[in-house]
Amino acid sequence: MTAMSDALLEVRGLKVGFPTPEGLVRASDTVDLEIYPRETLGLIGETGSGKTVLGMAILRLLQPNTIIEGEIRYRGRDLLSLPEAEMQRVRGREIGIVLQNSGTSLNPVYTVGTQIAEAVILHQGLSGPDARQRAVELLDAVGIPDPVRMAGEYPHRFSGGMRERALIATALACRPNLLIADEPTKGLDAVTKRGIVDLFSEIDRDHSVLFITHDIETAGDLATRVAVMYAGEIVEIGGAEEVLGDPAHPYTRGLLASLPERGMQPIPGSAPSLITLPSGCRFSPRCGCAVENCSREHPGLVEVGSGHYARCMLYD
Amino acid sequence: MIEVTDLETCFSTGFIRRRVVRAVDGVSFRIEEGETLGLVGESGCGKTTLGRSILRLVEPDRGRIVVDGTDVTALSRSELRCFRPRMQMIFQDAYTSLNPRMRVRESVAEPLKIHRMGSRTDIDRRVRELIEEVGLNEEHLNRRPYELSGGQNQRVVLARVLALKPRFLVADEPTSALDVSVQAQILNLIRDLGHDYRMTCLYISHDLGVTRAMSSRVAVMLEGRIVEIGRTADVLDRPSHPYTRRLVDASLTGPCASLERLPLPAAPTTVEVRSGHWVEETV
């Protein structure tokens, strides 16, 4: 892939490792991706594939003993080498994040309005009453009914879907250029999920979104491009229609075939441990198309269509 | 065969101003032997409470439940305990369903010991059989829940349930926390084992794709009531109740019906729109 200078965010050769007594957990391995202005990039993959770690690494939210290599360039600046004080100005203001588990992301002892206002006071220097007003506007914008009253309520009065909306409101409070949304539809029922998906497609915006999800259909609804992660690597990336409509990588095909609507054919076996990864292609032990060479050589990303890449020997 | 008639379960909430919430509000349905009935609806509609009420894990306030010819509502506490092996439930979060201090071997043996099903060697042999049936092997026997993945824990839960050879199983969103490829493995397993053990099943889910794959008939629940019930294809492809239409729309891509609350009649009446397909009339 060629480096594009018009990308808002460029991740180059990102490696993230967690030292553990059992060995180094390679949660992200040589990840390359770009996010362009105003696009929604869907990042899909299963539990433990490294999606969340990638989102957290971009904002440098990982624990201090994490081993991080590579480059994360945001508007030309390498975030990994920024001093902490400058990084603090990027978080929230330039890049917003909606973390997983909306239930635990809000502080139970402050009202929701106070928590949104806090972000606005901190990053935009608004006065208390102005910030409060802005919090109400934001709640209104994300579709919370009766926002004036709800701003004064505590998180336990919010349902799962409403908490998710409140968190999205907080993340959007400072009008970031990039919004990282980590599983914002997890645990929501179909109707509530649909509301959140609609919200993402409706909020009028100039920002890009990195939409992390294990829900393939949601990614298909929202994303312009989709990246598929497996065992810490991107195994396929390209336009959403190409990747989900005509998948090239056997893993992506397997994921789609395991959907109940598409025959519910499970992928045999289970995902490898990130400490002892299989040699060669990481998916080869579970792959129906694997040939001898697959367990020996580690494939690179190969262009299979316009802007559509897959990490598979089939296309070498 | 399961027959539920006019079941009602209420909770009272509020410390100073008591308020009664009718979580299950006059529900009646039948599930034929070996059949799986899907139960769909939004969070908070009463799906889980209905499942728990049928097993008397929460006491219903009114109504009758007949499981395999036995009136469950009329059983005393001790009679109910003896009847328990015949009706079992599995939950969304397998990890919290298992005792974190027990190894798989102990977890699977526990129900057999409680209900005194065989000698120690019998139980040990049965545990090994069960663990193979759910697709695990000997090496998992000495693990504890935190050493297993979500899918593997759900398999252990299934082994525990099957140990008792239940006639009736309530499955409460057992795969909603799992990834699609693991979900497919577990759903196939539940379907195959349900068939092998000739289990009658109430399958609770908010995922219409899963419901379609698992059940031959489906019931739609809204605010404690069943507003539509019938064959899966009839209900999900030709929904008659506006709420069912909304659920179906929400799970599709493209324009979606309004998400406003529907007004419901105070005294509902049900009509049969086609053979075996019943819908509550709207106001």
3-state secondary structure chain A: CCCCCCCCEEEEEEEEEEEECCEEEEEEEEEEEEECCCCEEEEECCCCCCHHHHHHHHCCCCCCCCEEEEEEEECCEEHHHCCHHHHHHHECCCEEEECCCHHHHCCCCCCHHHHHHHHHHHHHCCCHHHHHHHHHHHHHHCCCCCHHHHHCCCHHHCCHHHHHHHHHHHHHCCCCCEEEEECCCCCCCHHHHHHHHHHHHHCCCCCEEEEEECCHHHHHHHCCEEEEEECCEEEEEEEHHHHHHCCCCHHHHHHHHCCHHHCCCCCCCCCCCCCCCCCCCCCHHHCCCCCHHHHCCCCCCEEEECCEEECCHHHC
Q: Does A156 touch chain B (CB under 8 A)?
A: no
Q: Are B141 and B103 in contact (CB under 8 A)?
A: yes
Q: Does B28 touch chain A (CB under 8 A)?
A: no
Do A258 and B184 count as a contact with CB atoms less than 8 A apart?
yes
Compute the mean pLDDT over every residue in chain B, rounded to the nearest whole number. 91
Compute the mean pLDDT over every residue in chain A, rounded to the nearest whole number. 92
Give the number of other Cβ atoms within 10 Å of residue B237's Cβ. Answer: 10
Rounded distance, CA A12 to CA A72, Å? 6
Its pTM stands at: 0.87
Which residue is closest to A253 within chain B, CA to CA?
A: B181
CATH code at position B57: 3.40.50.300
Question: A283 to chain B: which residues are within 8 Å by CB?
Answer: none
Tell me how many residue pairs between chain A and chain B have CB atoms under 8 A apart.
79
SS3 B193: helix
Judged against a pLDDT cut of 60, whether residue A177 lies above it is answered with yes
Instruction: Give me the mean pLDDT over the B206-215 stretch.
Output: 92
Judged against a pLDDT cut of 60, whether residue B256 lies above it is answered with no
Please report the pLDDT score of residue A5 as a whole number: 62
Look at residues B62, B40, B52 and name the one whose alpha carbon lies nearest to residue B227: B40
pLDDT in tens, A252-264: 999 999 999 898 9
Roughly how many angstroms between the first and final C-alpha of chain A, as a whole number?
Answer: 15
Number of domains comprising chain B: 1
Judged against a pLDDT cut of 80, whether residue A3 lies above it is answered with no
Look at residues A274, A278, A258 and name the one whose alpha carbon lies nearest to residue A266: A258
Predicted confidence band at B222 (pLDDT cuts at 50, 70, 90)?
Answer: very high
Please report the pLDDT score of residue B178 as a whole number: 87
pLDDT in tens, B123-174: 999 999 999 999 998 889 999 999 888 899 999 999 999 999 999 999 999 9
Q: Does A264 touch chain B (CB under 8 A)?
A: yes
Rounded distance, CA A112 to CA B55, Å? 39
Instruction: Give me the mean pLDDT over the A298-305 stretch.
Output: 95
pLDDT in tens, A35-66: 999 999 999 998 889 999 999 999 999 999 99
pLDDT in tens, A182-227: 999 887 888 888 888 988 988 767 899 999 999 998 999 999 999 9
pLDDT in tens, B87-98: 999 998 899 999
Judged against a pLDDT cut of 80, whether residue B254 lies above it is answered with no
Shortest CA gap B138–chain A (Å): 17
Q: What residues make up the domain containing B38?
A: 2-282
Do A216 and B180 count as a contact with CB atoms less than 8 A apart?
yes
Please report the pLDDT score of residue B7 as a whole number: 96
Do B149 and A193 count as a contact with CB atoms less than 8 A apart?
no
- Measured at the CA of A13, the angle between CA A10 and CA A16, to 5 degrees, comes to 105
Judged against a pLDDT cut of 70, whether residue B255 lies above it is answered with no
Give the number of other Cβ atoms within 10 Å of residue A142's Cβ. Answer: 22
Which residue is closest to A273 within chain B, CA to CA?
A: B149
